[in-house]
Chains A and B, each alone.
Chain A
Amino acid sequence: MPKLMLLGDEALAQGALDAGISGFYGYPGTPSTEIIEYAQKSKQAAENNIHRTWSSNEKTALEAALGMSASGKRAMVTMKHVGLNVAADPLMNSAITGASGGLIIAVADDPSMHSSQNEQDSRYYGNFAMIPVLEPGNQQECYDMAFYGFELSEKYHIPVLLRLTTRLAHSRSGIVTKEPIPQNEMRKPEDMFQFMLLPAIARKKYQHHLELQKDFMRESLNSPFNAYKTEASSKKLGIITTGLAYNYLREAFKGEEIPYPVLKIGQYPLPEKQIHQLYDSCDELLVIEEGMPVVEEQLKGLAFPGLKPIHGRLDGYLPRTGELNPNLVAKAFSLPDTIGRPVPEIVVGRPPALCVGCPHSDTFLSLNEVMAEYGRGHVFSDIGCYTLGFMPPYNSINSCVDMGASITMAKGASDSGLFPAVAVIGDSTFCHSGITGLLDCIYDKANVMIVILDNATTAMTGGQNYTGYGKLEDICLGLGVEKEHIRIFVPLKKNYPEITQIYKEELAYNGVSVVIARRECIQTLKKKNKMETVE
C-alpha cells in the first residue's frame, strides 16, 4: 500500500477513522485544527457518517465526546493546549466517571508560542487527572496511537490524553495505514452509577481510579511506544527522551548509535521500574522533553543531598523555555555545534499583520477616531486575528488574555469606574465564551460597549464555521440586550461617519450596548470566489 503523506494532525485523524471512530468534537485552535479539518474533507468520514462538525468550545466538545463514549462509541475531542483549560472541568471529572466507548482527548501544545498566549504543557493535566497520556514521536505513531488509544481507553474504561506538539502536528511525513475496523454499536451504559458523580458514588469511583494507577503503570512498562535501550558503551549518562525529542537526539548524533542508555517515552505514567533501572545504572541522567520540564520535575522531586545529578531544562543543559531542535540537543552533549552564517543586520522582522482589505482594519480605525479623546487603556480585546489590532498603525486595543475575557474584563473595569469600557471580540470567540459574560453584563446593567467583529468565520485558524453563525442579534436579544442598543454597521471607509456616530451614541448610553461590525473575512471571501471560478 502506498504511504500517505500526512501532517501529524492528519495522521491522527486518519488513524481514528480507520480505528472505527464515530465522532470528532472540537474547537479550532493552532496547532490542532487540522485534525477535524482532515475529517471534514475525508470521503471515508462522509461515507460512514462520522460526526465532525465544530463545537461551540472545548468544554462542550469534550462533554459531547464523553456522551458519545457513554453510549458505547469511539470518540475523539480535539483542541489546543489552552483549550484544555476551558475543558478542564469535564477532563477532571471524566477521569472519575471513566469512559465506555474509546475516548481520546487530543491536545496540541504550542511550545515557543508560535500562535498562542502561553506554552503550558498538557502532560501536567494528564498527571493531574491521573489518566494515561500518549505522546507520539512521529507521524506514524500519531496514526498508530489512535488505534492503541481507543483500545487502552476501552480496556480500562478511561479517557486517554494524547499530546501533540506544534512540530509534529504541522510536519508532514509518510505513514502506513492499517485495514479499517467497523464502528462500535450504540449501547446504553450498563452501570447506571458510572456517570453519576454524587459525592457518595464519586468517593467510590475515585478509589477505583486510584487502584487503576498500577494498571496504567504496567501498561506503560509494556507499551510499544516506550523503548529502553540498555546496551551502551558508556554508563556515565542515562538519557530519557519524550515524544519527538527522541528524533532530535538521533539527529544530534547524526543517526549513529547513541553511546548511552536511552529510555524513550511515548506513554505515561512514567514506567517507574525502568526509570529506577536507568538511574541505578548510570552516573547522571539527562531528560530531553519538548515543552515544560514535566518529567524532569517528577524525577527530581525534592532535591535530596546525595542525589545523582539529573540534567535538563531546570539546570540549563537545555533552555528552560521554547521548542527544542537538534542543535540544542547536540549542545547538551557538548557535541560540536553547526551553525551557518549569521543573519545580516539589515534583516528586519516581518510580524504578522491584518490582511489588506480586512474588515477589522476599518472597525479599528473608526473606533480610534472616537476613542482618541479618552486615551489608551479603555479597549479590552480577545483571541483572534483582531488581536493584531494592538500593533501599529492601529494601537487600538490593550488586552488579550483568554477566550471571552474582553467582555468580562470590560465589565470588571466598568464596575471599578472606568469610562468608557469597551470590549472587542470576534464572532466565533463570542460564541465560544463571550455569551455568558454578556449575560453577566446584562444582569448588572453594566456600562459597557461590546463590539462584535462579525466576519462570518473563525478566521485566525484558517476559516472554520462556528456554531452561532447568523444568530448574533438573536442571541443578544435573547440574553436581554435592548433592541435599540444592538447596532450593526458595515466596516468600510465610506461608512466612517455613520460608524463613529453609532459608537458615540452607544458610548453615551449608560448600559449594555452591542455593536456588530459585519463584513466577511477577506480570506474566506477570496477562497469562495476562487472556488466559483474553478467550478
Chain B
Amino acid sequence: MKKDIILAGVGGQGILTIATILGTAAIKRGMNLKQAEVHGMSQRGGDVQSHLRLSDDPIWSDLIPYGSADMILSVEPLEALRYLPYLKEDGWIISNSTPFKNIPNYPPEEEIYREIKKIPNYVLFDADTLANAQKANRSMNIVVLGAAITHLGFSQEEIEEAIKAIFAPKGEAIVEANLRALLAGIETK
C-alpha cells in the first residue's frame, strides 16, 4: 500500500494530531512513513499543511510531488482548495465545511463549496457540529479523520487503537471523546 496525503488547515486546528494518529497506525502495520511539518512563523494563524507519506516500499522525498496526492484531508474548506495542484486526478478531498475566518477577505462559503464539489471524489461535511453533538468540541479534527479512514484503507479498530495510545496520557475522558468523534466521522457518508 502507498498513500500520499496532504493535511491542511489553519495553525492550531490540529492537523499534526491527525498525522500522528495515521502515522501510529501505519507503523503498527510495519509501513514506512515520512511526514513534513510546518513550524515557525506560519503557525501564527496562517495556513499550514503537512505532507504525510505512507508506503510499504521505501519513500524518497519528504514532499509529495504535485499531481500525486491520494487525498487532501482538510479541517477547513478554503484550505482544502489551496493544495489542489497536489491532488491526483482520481484523488479525494475530505473536508470540514465550517470556515475559519481570520482574514477580512474570506470568500463566500457557497463559492468555496462549489469549487470543492467540482472534484469527482469529495466528502464535505460539518465536522464542527458533529463534534459538538458528541460533546467532543475540541475533536473536530478527529471527526474529519473518521470520514477519511476507509478511503485510506485503515480499519476503525486500527485507528481506535492509535487514538487510545496517543491520548492515554491525557486521561480516559479525552480518549472517549476522541473515540466518539472518530465514530461520528466514520458514519458520515
Contact = CB atoms under 8 A, between A and B. Distances in A.
B3 interface: no
Interface in B16-50: 23, 27, 32-47
Contacts of B87: 340-341
B10 A174 contact: no
A172 B34 contact: yes
A326 B61 contact: yes
Contacts of B102: 350, 353
Contacts of A30: 39-41
B66 interface: yes
B67 A167 contact: no
B67 A339 contact: yes
Interface stretch (B105-113, B128-136, B139-147, B177-185): B105-113
Interface string A320-352: 000001110010000001111111101111111
Given A170-B37, A171-B37, A534-B171, A326 B84 contact: no
B63 interface: yes
Interface residues of A, number: 51
A195 interface: no
B83 to A, nearest CB: 8
A330 B68 CA distance: 14
A355 B45 contact: yes
Contact of B36 (A170, A347, A355, A462): A170
A300 interface: no
B39 A115 contact: yes
Interface residues of B, number: 55
Interface in B57-113: 57-63, 65-69, 78-79, 81-82, 84-89, 91, 102-103, 105-107, 111-112
Nearest to A246: B60
A344 B84 CA distance: 8
Contacts of B106: 348
Nearest to B89: A340
Interface string A214-257: 00000000000000000000000000000010011011100100
Contacts of B45: 350, 352-355
A114 B38 contact: yes
A327 B38 CA distance: 20
B112 A350 contact: no
Count chain A CB atoms within 10 A of each CB in B62, B81, B84, B103 and give the residue with the most. Answer: B62
A327 B62 CA distance: 13
A34 interface: yes
Interface in A484-522: none
Given A30-B40, A247-B60, A340 B84 contact: yes
Contacts of B111: 346
B33 A350 contact: no
A349 B45 CA distance: 12
B189 to A, nearest CB: 24
Nearest to A530: B170
Contacts of B112: 346
A481 interface: no
A461 interface: yes
Contacts of A7: 37
Contacts of A83: none
Contacts of B14: none
B38 A170 contact: yes
Contact of A347 (B51, B81, B171): B81
Given A341-B85, A534-B171, A350 B63 contact: no
Interface of B: 10-11, 23, 27, 32-47, 51, 57-63, 65-69, 78-79, 81-82, 84-89, 91, 102-103, 105-107, 111-112, 115, 119, 170-171
17 contacts: A170-B39, A172-B23, A172-B35, A173-B35, A174-B32, A251-B61, A325-B61, A337-B67, A340-B67, A344-B84, A350-B103, A352-B41, A352-B42, A354-B45, A355-B45, A460-B41, A534-B171
- Give the top 3 A-B pairs by smallest Cβ distance, nearest first: A115-B40, A338-B67, A30-B40
